[in-house]
Amino acid sequence: MTGSGGLCGAVAAQLTDLSAPGQPLHANCDRRTAVLYAGDTDRASLHKDVIAKYLSRASPMQDGRSAIVTAGPPAAGKSTALHAEIVGLDTYRILDAVIVKEYLIEQALDDGI
């Protein structure tokens, strides 16, 4: 594999394989969280805890309604560009799925799954 196109193609192929019926990323996998936590009343509490933990990371300004949206592959320089171009970026709430995924992975590890 050479270049990012080859790597992207390889990762896409792996994800496609893992998402096939019977594989761990398939929507009907018996190890999905909807099955693992079925009937678990603590799950709603976990969601509330994750949201509270995430929201406690920053106290953004409340006097305006605006958003800055970026898109691109990991490590493309999105955050670096924002910090270079936006004065007062620390007053914005940063919405980053990676942070939420880390919280959920930590909980899954704690749960032994």
Is 16 part of a structural domain of the chain? no
Which residue in 99, 95, 51, 91 sits closest to 69, CA to CA?
Answer: 95
Decide if 70 is inside a domain. yes
Give me the phi and psi of 92, to 5 degrees please.
Answer: -95, 150
User: Is 13 inside any structural domain?
Assistant: no
> For residue 66, what are the domain limits?
31-111
DSSP 91: G
Answer yes or no: is 57 within a domain. Answer: yes
Tell me whether residue 52 is in a domain.
yes
Indicate whether 36 belongs to any domain: yes
Each of the 113 residues of the chain gets a pLDDT tens digit; together they read 445 567 888 888 998 999 999 998 888 888 887 788 888 888 778 888 888 888 887 777 666 667 788 888 878 888 899 889 988 887 887 788 888 888 888 888 988 87
Could you tell me if residue 44 is inside a domain? yes
Would you say residue 11 lies in a domain?
Answer: no
Total domains, the chain: 1
Indicate the pTM of the whole model. 0.51
